[in-house]
């Protein structure tokens, strides 16, 4: 499905990361992968899991709060690979202590960093990736959550950041559409990852989904990987500006 395509995937922290499951699925379907890591500490853990890919990926450091590092990532891809067909944005950040308590206690400092990492960085990456997609039908994919449109206890500033991210998907789709590129998001159900463990009451969210979702079960991260392959491949060539739920049908239920 992805033979001949090369993609940049950001957001692999460890083997539980959603971005890792997308990387594995993309690799399985024949894509060549470029991965980023945020810092040296994470790199050591990553090296152990990368053996599972069919070929060693190009690995680059990228903290998205550092504009210079983002520039360097795309310069390296231009020099070492030459082009890109897709980009996966699997990043989010909020201070853990603000993922509990009332939303109105969000500090300006945390609002700014959450928005920067979780929403703004997607536009910043798209802008830099477009020149590497010249003449190709590129695909951009990000990850969001139902907390963008409904109140989810303790999700707080991340809800506002995901709402900004989802609006960005629509505006970016209009920006890059004339060049033949698509921009979409997967709104994933809860998955136990490092980022998710920062949300107070996360275990309870899993129980509620298992009980009330249409499929009456939780989601596997591999199922997000499979859905991502659709967006990264030409099968989704007429789909853009879309937020698609991959959540066992939880979003569709009333009570
Ligand atoms: P994860 O494994 O913890 O991944 C989050 C990634 O963001 C980590 O690799 C993290 O690196 C990275 N990151 C944070 N700040 C960064 C920065 N300044 N520069 C570069 N990278 C940075 O958690 P995940 O659950 O897979 O999250 C992936 C995406 O899925 C997020 O957008 C999340 O909101 C979304 N999502 C998750 C769920 C869920 O239930 N897990 C549901 C819906 C949507 P560090 O570890 O170094 O901070």
The stretch 10-27 carries a mean pLDDT of: 97
Bridge-partner residues for 144, per DSSP?
187
Alpha carbon distance 242, 234 (integer Å): 15
Q: pTM for this structure?
A: 0.98
Q: Which protein residue has the closest C-alpha to ligand 1 atom 2?
A: 17
In the chain, the percentage of residues whose pLDDT exceeds 90 is 93
The stretch 67-73 carries a mean pLDDT of: 98
Reported as a single tens digit per residue, the pLDDT across 127-157 is 999 999 999 999 999 999 999 999 999 999 9
* Residue 196 CA, closest ligand 1 atom number: 41
Phi-psi region of 132 (alpha: psi -120 to 50; beta: other; left: phi over 0): alpha
Contacts of residue 240, Cβ cutoff 8 Å, sequence gap at least 6: 173, 177, 181, 182, 183, 184
Q: How far is the CA of 241 from the centre of ligand 1 (A)?
A: 22
Reported as a single tens digit per residue, the pLDDT across 149-172 is 999 999 999 999 999 999 999 999
**């997967």: which residue's tokens?**
186
pLDDT score of 200 more than 90:
no
Q: How far is the CA of 175 from the centre of ligand 1 (A)?
A: 25
Sign of CA dihedral 46, 51, 56, 57: negative
* Residue 19 CA, closest ligand 1 atom number: 26
145 is an active site residue:
yes
Of 43-47, 234-238, 244-248, least confident by mean pLDDT is 43-47
Pocket test for ligand 1, best of 13, 23, 149 (most atoms within 8 A of CB): 13
Q: How far is the CA of 117 from the centre of ligand 1 (A)?
A: 9
* Cα-based torsion angle of the residue sequence 153, 197, 228, 142 in order, rounded to the nearest 10 degrees: 60
pLDDT score of 14 more than 90:
yes
Q: How many Å from the N-terminal Cα to the C-terminal Cα in the chain?
A: 38
Residue-by-residue DSSP string for 68-127: HHHHHHHHHHHHHT---SEEEE------GGGSSS-GGG--HHHHHHHHIIIIIHHHHHHH
Q: For the chain, what are the domain ranges? A: 6-252
Cβ-count burial 196-230 (b if 16+ within 10 Å, e if not): bebbbebeebbeebbeebeeeebbebebbbebbbb
pLDDT score of 44 more than 90:
no
Q: Where are the alpha helices (DSSP H) in the chain?
A: 18-28, 40-49, 67-80, 108-115, 121-129, 157-176, 202-212, 221-232
Superfamily of domain 6-252 in CATH is NAD(P)-binding Rossmann-like Domain (3.40.50.720)
pLDDT score of 230 more than 90:
yes
């Amino acid at each position: 499905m992805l033979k001949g395509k090369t993609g940049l995937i950001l957001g692999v922290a460890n083997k539980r990361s959603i971005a890792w499951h997308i990387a594995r699925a993309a690799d399985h379907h024949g894509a060549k992968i470029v991965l980023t890591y945020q810092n040296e500490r994470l790199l050591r853990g990553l090296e152990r899991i990368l053996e599972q890919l069919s070929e060693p990926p190009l690995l680059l450091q990228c903290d998205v709060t550092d504009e210079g590092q983002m520039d360097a990532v795309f310069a390296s891809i231009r020099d070492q690979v030459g082009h890109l067909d897709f980009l996966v944005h699997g990043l989010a950040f909020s201070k853990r202590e603000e993922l509990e308590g009332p939303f109105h206690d969000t500090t300006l400092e945390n609002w700014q960093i959450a928005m920067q990492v979780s929403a703004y960085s997607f536009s910043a990456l798209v802008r830099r990736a477009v020149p590497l997609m010249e003449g190709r039908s590129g695909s951009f994919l990000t990850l969001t959550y139902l907390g963008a449109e409904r109140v989810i206890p303790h999700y707080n500033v991340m809800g506002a950041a995901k709402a900004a991210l989802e609006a960005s998907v629509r505006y970016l789709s209009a920006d890059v559409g004339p060049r033949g590129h698509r921009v979409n998001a997967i709104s994933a159900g809860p998955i136990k990852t490092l980022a998710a463990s920062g949300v107070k009451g996360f275990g309870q969210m899993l129980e509620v989904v298992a009980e009330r979702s249409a499929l009456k079960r939780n989601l596997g991260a591999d199922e997000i990987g499979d859905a991502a392959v659709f967006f990264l491949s030409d099968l989704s060539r007429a789909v853009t500006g879309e937020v698609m739920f991959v959540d066992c049908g939880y979003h569709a239920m009333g009570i």
